[in-house]
Amino acid sequence: MRDLATTYPIAIDLNDGFLTAAQFRKGRQGSRVRGLLSLPLPAAFGADAGEDEALVDALKTVRSCGLFKGRRVVFNLPLQDLSFFPVHFPFNPQEDPEEGILREAAKFLSYPPDEAMIDYPSLFQNQGTFHATVVAARRQVVDRWLVILRQAGFTAEVMDFYVASLIRLHQRLFAPTERADILCHLGRTCIMLAVISSEGILSISEISWGVQLLREKIETNLALPVGGPEAVKLLSAYGLGYMERGNIPEEMADDMRLDDDARNIYRAIFQIISPTVNGLAYECHNTIGYVRSVRENVGFGTVYLYGLAGLISHLDRYLEEQVEIPVHLVDLKAHLDVGGSKGPILLSGEISPAPVLGLAMRELPWL
């Protein structure tokens, strides 16, 4: 009898300064996490031969840790090796839409188009104009990763990308709606925004900061130890709880026992991080405006917060006030069964498992 567990390959993601790996297994009770692992990446993360050797050694740990089965992998290309951009071009009955995409994409590439590997996860037409979201990578970069994976003893079945993995995870957790939803993944060093609807991906954008920047700002302003747990604790305990009117969070407003020191901490943390978080709200507004410019009468449903968003107290409520759209903080532990894992879940609190879990959900029927 065929082993159903082998239809799930090992998923590997190299983003946010960590190597993360995950694998599901099938059983009579549905899919469960077989193993989940994160390791810090080597400080040198480039194209030199010595750096490749360090990456190969890190990947070999995935094989030897005992959490995973098989050697076939699906792999998220690192964000620094990818380009995301929208293209627009008029409808031409004499031209295949793909020809138009390739022609317009060439205007955004920093290398010759014949060296590019291009995908367009979204393509739609509106009022005589095609709109597409393009993901591009240089062929030699993809080939490099294939060699690295092979040297580590793996066979790459699929090369995927971060946003596609996040969307796959979201679609597994939530039923589709008629409205456009914003997926916001808050990572350690960057934020990814994707707008999805029943038509596909309407927008992809990246913000070049994450929880690490907020942590560093708190450490600098309050003279806390660099890299210690103090800043994260303050971010989780106070975050954006201080209201703009100078009050403490609503649920504590009637607590007369709250002393002035606690009130001052709420105020200090809010003043340190809110200017940066406002940049996220601003990017959400820009994204909403862009989508409405290419899709008339589009209705927005919910902003879903993934990743390390839960480390920032009151982020969901604060962002909801700013963008005036319902915001939902996604708790993966409430949705995914990790209790069936055969080994320990070796995951650092500094990294989000969302992208690698979404990648691991990519079933390969030919395995």
The 10s digit of each residue's pLDDT in 275-301 is 999 999 999 999 999 999 888 788 999
| Per-residue confidence band for 141, with pLDDT thresholds at 50, 70 and 90 | very high
How high is the pLDDT of residue 1?
A: 39
What are the residue ranges spanned by the domains of the chain? 4-81+145-175+336-360, 83-136, 211-329
**The dihedral formed by the CA atoms of 198, 201, 356 and 142, expressed in degrees to the nearest 10:** 140
Q: Could you tell me what percent of the chain has a pLDDT over 70?
A: 87
How high is the pLDDT of residue 19?
A: 92
How high is the pLDDT of residue 10?
A: 96
307 and 169 Cβ atoms separated by less than 8 Å: no
Minimum mean pLDDT range among 29-38, 40-49, 224-233: 40-49
For residues 173-193, give the mean pLDDT: 94
Would the CATH topology of 4-81+145-175+336-360 be identical to that of 83-136? no
List of long-range contacts for 104-107, beta carbons under 8 Å, 24+ apart: 104/132, 105/134, 105/136
Q: Which of the pair, 187 or 340, is modelled with greater confidence?
A: 187
pTM score of the predicted model: 0.89
Task: Answer whether residue 254 shows pLDDT above 60.
Answer: no
CATH number 3.50.50.60 given to 4-81+145-175+336-360: no
For residues 82-104, give the mean pLDDT: 92
* Residues 6 or more apart whose Cβ sits within 8 Å of residue 63: 71, 152, 153, 154
Which two three-digit tokens encode residue 162?
A: 């971060």
Q: Could you tell me what percent of the chain has a pLDDT over 90?
A: 64
How high is the pLDDT of residue 345?
A: 52
| CA gyration radius, the chain | 22
> What CATH topology corresponds to 83-136?
Dna Ligase; domain 1 (3.30.1490)
Q: Give the closest residue to 342 by CA, choosing from 8, 25, 17.
A: 25
For residues 191-199, give the mean pLDDT: 92
Task: Answer whether residue 106 shows pLDDT above 80.
Answer: yes
CATH number of 211-329: 3.30.420
Q: Which of the pair, 250 or 88, is modelled with greater confidence?
A: 88
39 and 61 Cβ atoms separated by less than 8 Å: yes
Backbone angles phi, psi at 89, to 5 degrees: -155, 150
54 and 44 Cβ atoms separated by less than 8 Å: yes
Query: Cα separation of 236 and 7, whole Å?
Result: 38
Query: Cα separation of 48 and 30, whole Å?
Result: 43
Minimum mean pLDDT range among 24-28, 244-248, 269-273, 353-357: 244-248
Output b/e per residue, 72-100; b: 16+ Cβ within 10 A: bbbbbbbbeebbbbbbebeeeeeeeeeeb
